[in-house]
Amino acid sequence: MMTLFCIVCTLVGESGETVRYLRPAGGKWQTECTFTLRQEKTGATIESTTFRGQTRLTVRARYDGAKRLIAAEVLLLGGAGKKVATVQAADGKAKVLRAGQSAQEFDVPSHVIVTSAPDWTDTFLLCKRYDRKKQGKQSFAGLWVHPVQPSQRLTFTIERVGADAITHAGRKVALDRHTIRLRGNSAYVAWADASGRMIKLVPMPYKDGATNWLIADGYEKSAAGLRP
């Protein structure tokens, strides 16, 4: 994964809910990634796009009404052109296909999180799916897919370790503070609101004065002071 923190801005329209995360770049803010979530009668889809200079990586995953993965696609656009990896899933099995490579097969439970790099679908969905009533450390299945690298079946963890409050738009907002472990055991601290919306994400170990964090519309001041 990448090194940053995220604060979120949400827009809701006919196409679903779109969430945007920004990162600092030369005294300005640039879009790091966007998420679009669509809930339908037959299931749900999530699409994320991450922007890195001339490189763009898009992850799309589709689930049925029982939260079982149906299909997914990872699209990488950049200087080397267009590269794609696709996932076909049924009966708890997923087959990953890449051009010129042998297919890989994995067991995938319902709710499996499809992610890649650079991509933040894992942290975004971990915060949304964390059971606040259950508390404690919780594990989630992940399927890491990339057009030019072998896929991996992973397990991600998230644990609530505290709470903080910010003043946003003139009112106090309570945030849960979580520790997250991702691919390669990389560690992050995330803040999420009561709805599970990720507000801020910080890579560990944290260093004072670091500029490897992101902020979104309206939260530049209200969440900037959060520290692990």
The side-by-side arrangement of strands in the sheet containing 171-181 is 113-115, 137-146, 149-168, 171-181, 187-192, 198-203
Tell me what the pLDDT averaged over the chain comes to.
90
pTM of the full structure: 0.90
Q: For strand 8-13 and strand 16-25, is the pairing parallel, antiparallel, or unpaired? A: antiparallel
Q: What's residue 9's pLDDT?
A: 42
Q: How confident is the model at residue 28 (pLDDT cuts 50, 70, 90)?
A: confident
Number of domains in the chain: 1
214 in a structural domain? no
pLDDT of residue 92 exceeding 60? yes
Is 129 or 12 the better-scoring residue by pLDDT? 129
Percent of the chain residues past pLDDT 70, beyond the cut: 92
Contact 125, 141 (CB under 8 A): no
Percent of the chain residues past pLDDT 90, beyond the cut: 72
168 in a structural domain? yes
Q: What's residue 37's pLDDT?
A: 94
Helix, strand, coil content of the chain in percent (nearest 5): 5, 60, 35
166 in a structural domain? yes
CA separation, residue 188 to residues 5, 22, 112, 177, 180 (Å): 9, 17, 20, 10, 5
188 in a structural domain? yes
128 in a structural domain? yes
Contact 93, 106 (CB under 8 A): yes
223 in a structural domain? no
- Please state, in angstroms and rounded to a whole number, the distance separating the CA atoms of residues 132 and 1: 25
> By residue range, what is the domain housing residue 157?
8-203
46 in a structural domain? yes
- Please state, in angstroms and rounded to a whole number, the distance separating the CA atoms of residues 17 and 65: 18
Specify the residue for token string 């679903």. 16
DSSP structure class, residue 112: P
209 in a structural domain? no
Is 22 or 110 the better-scoring residue by pLDDT? 110
Query: pLDDT tens digits for 116-145?
Result: 999 999 999 999 999 999 999 999 999 999
Query: pLDDT tens digits for 210-220?
Result: 767 776 567 77
Q: What's residue 27's pLDDT?
A: 79
Q: How confident is the model at residue 176 (pLDDT cuts 50, 70, 90)?
A: very high
